[in-house]
Copies of this chain bind each other. A is one copy, B any other.
Amino acid sequence: MMGKVMTMAQAIGRFVPDGCSVLMGAALESLIPFAAGHEIIRQRRRNLTLIGPISDILFDQLIGAGCASRVIAAWVGNVSAGLAHNYRRAAEANTPHRLDIEDHSNFTLSLALLAGGLGAPFIPTKTLLGTDLLPGSQSFQLSSEPDTGAPLVHVQAITPDVAILQVQRSDREGNAHCWGNLGVSEEGGLASRGVIIVAEEVVSREMILSDPNRVLLPSAKVVAVVHEPWGAHPSPVQGFYGRDHGFYEQYHLASRTSEGFEQWLKGWVLDVEDRTGYLARLPKDRLNQLKPSQRRLAAPVDYGY
């Protein structure tokens, strides 16, 4: 029996086929699986539906590379630097090609994924009433409270084909520890048909099972475990590395034009074989600068009996 541990190329090759829906960037500005996104670009996936609350610049890269035909998100941009240029070109000028946009807010996207994980058809809310996100959207159904007649929005469940979740550490079965803000990582993983775990460290089963409350989701959901140190760069991973703010700024400037983006893509993704190659292109010492300057250990917890 083949195990779940595999290379990023194998994981993307097997579990992210053309036309599938893929959840990424679930934690928000941290733990963004950039290494996975770059492999999707290298394998020239097409017609993906990208799902994520905000994705910082990851979705912009996938859109610019022509991988996506649809985005279901609350926000697509560059968190520290501004607008997302490829996203703009796609929406404003169908460049590189047409992109369907299904607008959510952060709350409605998390409710949609929560509903997906609960096996519920929808969850009602009062957010977005009166806004232009509602008319004509497939994601929402207008309704009303049976007793009072007060307006309600039914947020329809979302069940992505696959979620790609970056974590600090995992065992070989996909029992994984994750800490820091979780965003929609848990809901998103539970809502998805399969989960690819991208781990900074692959550790022993004993280590993970020593703290079952820290486990993100059931390994039964996990289809692949990819050991990919620095897999989230330039986004941060608590306890492992900080955010590379300059890298976002650099991308922002480079991607202003299609040509600039193509060049950026060539240099950082297409002409690079894998994550090791990518890391080798970073300025000397960059990784060292991003490493924690101080350990901050969680207080001990005793599961003894």
Which residues from chain A sit less than 8 Å from chain B, CB to CB? Answer: 111, 118-126, 141, 143, 145-146, 152, 154, 177, 179-180, 182, 203, 207-208, 210-211, 213-214, 236, 238-239, 242, 292-305
Bound Cα distance from A214 to B121, whole angstroms: 31
List chain B residues, Cβ under 8 A from A124.
120-123
Given that A124-B120, A124-B122, A125-B120 are contacting pairs, would A303 and B293 also be in contact in the complex, using a CB cutoff of 8 Å? Answer: no
Given that A120-B125, A121-B124, A145-B121 are contacting pairs, would A297 and B292 also be in contact in the complex, using a CB cutoff of 8 Å? Answer: no
Given that A120-B125, A145-B121, A152-B121 are contacting pairs, would A210 and B303 also be in contact in the complex, using a CB cutoff of 8 Å? Answer: no
Given that A121-B145, A122-B124, A141-B146 are contacting pairs, would A179 and B301 also be in contact in the complex, using a CB cutoff of 8 Å? Answer: yes
Q: How far is the CB of A74 from chain B (nearest CB, A)?
A: 17
List chain B residues, Cβ under 8 A from A146.
141, 143, 154
Residue from B125, B145, B182, B297 within 8 A of A301 (CB atoms): B297
Q: How far is the CB of A129 from chain B (nearest CB, A)?
A: 13
Which residue of A143, A179, A210, A305 has the most chain B CB atoms within 10 A of its CB atom? Answer: A305
Q: How far is the CB of A255 from chain B (nearest CB, A)?
A: 28
Pair A210/B296 contact, Cβ less than 8 Å? yes
Bound Cα distance from A152 to B118, whole angstroms: 14
List chain B residues, Cβ under 8 A from A111.
118
List chain B residues, Cβ under 8 A from A179.
213, 301, 303
Given that A239-B303, A304-B239 are contacting pairs, would A298 and B210 also be in contact in the complex, using a CB cutoff of 8 Å? Answer: yes
Pair A297/B293 contact, Cβ less than 8 Å? no
* Nearest residue, chain B, Cβ from A243: B305
Q: Apart from A177-B299, A292-B302, A298-B300, what 5 extra A-B contacts exist at CB < 8 Å?
A: A141-B146, A179-B301, A236-B305, A238-B303, A239-B302
Bound Cα distance from A208 to B298, whole angstroms: 8
Q: How far is the CB of A165 from chain B (nearest CB, A)?
A: 15
Q: How far is the CB of A179 from chain B (nearest CB, A)?
A: 5
Bound Cα distance from A298 to B118, whole angstroms: 29
Q: How far is the CB of A177 from chain B (nearest CB, A)?
A: 7
List chain B residues, Cβ under 8 A from A122.
124
Q: How far is the CB of A171 from chain B (nearest CB, A)?
A: 11
Pair B297/A298 contact, Cβ less than 8 Å? no
* Nearest residue, chain B, Cβ from A241: B305
Residue from B141, B182, B301 within 8 A of A239 (CB atoms): B301
List chain B residues, Cβ under 8 A from A300.
297-298
Could you write out 21 A-B pairs with CB less than 8 Å apart?
A111-B118, A120-B123, A120-B125, A121-B145, A122-B124, A180-B213, A180-B303, A208-B299, A210-B296, A211-B298, A211-B299, A236-B305, A238-B304, A239-B304, A239-B305, A294-B304, A296-B302, A297-B301, A297-B302, A297-B303, A298-B303
